[in-house]
Amino acid sequence: MLFYVRTFGCQMNKADSEVAAGTLLAAGHLETTDPAEAELIVINTCAVREHAVDRLYGYVNSLKSPLKHNQSPLLAVGGCVAEQKRSALWKDLPQTDIIFGTSAFHLLPQAIDRAAKGETRIDLLQATELLPDHLHVRPEDPWRAWLPISRGCNNFCSYCVVPYTRGREASRALDIVLTDAKTLVARGAREITLLGQNVNSYGNDLGEPGLFAHLLSSLDDIPDLRRVRFLTSHPKDLSPATIAALAASANACEHVHLPLQAGSDRILTAMNRGYTLDKYLERVEALRAAIPGVALSTDLIVGFPGETEEEFNETLAAVERINYDSAYTFIYSPRPGTPAAELPDEVSWRTKETRLRQLIELQSTLSDRACQAYLGRVVEVFVIGPSRRGEVSWTGRTRTNKIVNFPAAGAWAGRFASVRITGAGTASLTGSLCGPIE
């Protein structure tokens, strides 16, 4: 079958979609980049905010448009919305043929065989608890790879649906993660991003606390693995040992995504985040002391139920004080089934929008300033591919995760370049090539 995969949501979903595509390819199916010619459309969904779910419904309904071949394609809908809605999804999206959960991506070929035999409404929600190891993966990009080290989440932040859609935290064994990393590097990956909802608690469920620090040091011993990144680092579990391992590791990048969510201790408690602003600031200081030049990014939510103007101002003050390189900012979205959704929500939509705007404005000033600081510096850029401006211009990232565009003749994708920064915007830098870094 000719299949097409559409992915909504986070990096974990992107990694899961690579497993879906890899398994289908290994079973002899073929991938297309054109949904109109696909005989099978696989949609990997996100339930984190209402907007993500609305986009899914909009997308599925847009698929009604005439297709290039006569038969309508098989539709497989999986991931977090499928886990959240379960059988109610048949009602919401009756055109769906296969529903699969967040741990059944590798079972799609079997479901297709069942559909081919005439079975309808195939349900793979209860299929497995955990994805098996060593799955087929079709990477999006040969030089950069995702590597899930754990699945699920035990933190139950009061606003968040993820523990319900992805179940309890389950760490993959260290030797398996290391074997995977070596395989990825042997296939050409030079950068690996470790994935988990909370990488800092990696190993806790195996009775091996502190395993993340150990993993970072072990990855540093893999020759040709030039960069290691990781998502997401929960502030409450960021230990001194992990900070020391990051500082000591040559390939761990100087960038930590450390979601703050809110600057008020009352809101942080109501969110069940497990830290106070002071605790968070302590960890930021420890990171900055141990890793000179470390870039910090964050996630922030405005308009949590009951958030007062004063409490929102505490978020603004914290953001200014911490001076992030970048931030993802969200308006709180009540998720059915979460404790926060039961709280009375006195904050009006208008207020939420105003707060979001204020926060974005502040952060773009800080991001501008962070970019300006690069002017004149020579940085190592890992080149991802041609920039949107065309083949003569290339785009890549610094170790601190800043986007750099630079013009250069020749083929640069997948290579490391030394680039002098000559221009700075809010979200990206421009520069001129000094030469390759082998």
Point out which residues bind ligand SF4 (CB under 6 A). Answer: 153, 155-157, 160, 162-163, 197-198, 234
200-259 binders of ligand SAH (CB under 6 A): 232, 234, 259
Q: Among candidates 77, 68, 15, 80, which has minimal Cα distance to 41?
A: 77
Residue nearest to ligand SAH (CB): 299
19 binds ligand SAH (CB under 6 A): no
Residue nearest to ligand F3S (CB): 9
Which residue in the set 102, 251, 261, 430 belongs to the binding site for ligand SAH (CB under 6 A)? 261
- Structural contact between residues 284 and 258, judged by C-beta atoms closer than 8 angstroms: yes
Residue 49: name its binding partner from ligand SAH, ligand SF4, ligand F3S, none (Cβ under 5 to 8 Å by kind): ligand SAH
Q: Which is nearer to ligand SAH, 366 or 419 (CB)?
A: 366
Name the residue with tokens 């988990």: 196
42 binds ligand F3S (CB under 6 A): no
Residues 6+ positions from 279 with CB-CB distance below 8 Å: 235, 236
Q: Is 414 in the site for ligand F3S (CB under 6 A)?
A: no
Smallest separation, CB 103 to ligand SF4 (Å): 16
Phi, psi of 381 (to 5 degrees): -115, 130
Choose between 89 and 370: whose C-beta lies nearer to ligand F3S.
89
Task: Pick one of ligand F3S, ligand SF4, ligand SAH, none as the site partner of residue 335 (Cβ within 5 to 8 A by kind).
Answer: ligand SAH
| Phi, psi dihedrals of residue 384, rounded to the nearest 5° | -90, -40
Specify the DSSP element, H or E, that contains 151.
Answer: strand 150-151
Q: N- to C-terminal Cα distance for the chain?
A: 42
**Residue 148 binding ligand F3S, by CB under 6 A:** no
For the purposes of burial, counting CB atoms within 10 Å of the CB of 3, is it exposed (0-12), middle (13-18) or buried (19 or more)?
buried
For the chain, the residue count is: 438
Which of 27-35, 159-167, 219-227, 237-245 is the region at the interface with ligand SAH (rule: CB under 6 A)? 159-167
Interface segment toward ligand SAH; rule CB under 6 A; list 15-23, 155-163, 179-187, 394-402: 155-163
Could you write out the DSSP letters of every residue in 199-250?
GGGTTGGGT-TTHHHHHHHHHTTSTT--EEEEE---GGG--HHHHHHHHH-S
Measured from the CB of residue 311, what is the shortest distance to ligand F3S in angstroms? 25
Q: What is the C-alpha separation between 318 and 230, in angstroms, rounded?
A: 24
Q: How far is the CB of 231 from ligand SAH (least distance, A)?
A: 8
Buried b (16+ CB within 10 A) or exposed e, 296-325: bbbebbbbbbebeeebbebbbebbeebebb
**163 or 386: whose CB is closer to ligand SF4?**
163
Return the number of the residue (195 or 252) whose C-beta is nearest ligand F3S. 195
Q: How far is CA 110 from the centre of its chain?
A: 28
332 contact choice in ligand SF4, ligand SAH, ligand F3S, none (CB below 5 to 8 Å, kind-dependent): ligand SAH
332 binds ligand SAH (CB under 6 A): yes
Q: Whole-number minimum distance, CB 251 to ligand F3S, in Å?
A: 26
* Coil, strand or helix at 261: strand
**Region binding ligand SAH by CB under 6 A among candidate stretches 15-23, 57-65, 332-340, 368-376:** 332-340
Binding of residue 283 to ligand SAH (CB under 6 A): no
- Are the CB atoms for 421 and 379 separated by under 8 Å? yes
The token pair that represents 382 in the structure block: 């890992």
Q: Is position 338 an interface residue for ligand F3S (rule: CB under 6 A)? A: no
We find the least distance from the C-beta atom of residue 298 to ligand SF4, in angstroms, to be 12
Tell me which of ligand SF4, ligand F3S, ligand SAH, none is bound by residue 330, counting a contact when its beta carbon lies within the kind-specific cut-off of 5 to 8 angstroms: ligand SAH
Q: Give me the least distance between CB of 45 and ligand SF4, in Å please.
A: 16
Burial of 339 (0-12, 13-18, 19+ CB in 10 A): middle
Residue in the block written with tokens 């080149």: 383
Least distance (Å) between residue 49 CB and ligand SAH = 5
Of these partners, ligand F3S, ligand SF4, ligand SAH, none, which one is at the site of residue 163 (CB under 5 to 8 Å by kind)? ligand SF4
What single-letter DSSP state applies at residue 114? H
How far, in Å, CA of 369 to CA of 172, rounded? 39
Judged by the rule CB under 6 A, the positions of this chain that interact with ligand F3S are 9-10, 12-13, 46-48, 79-80, 161-162, 165-166
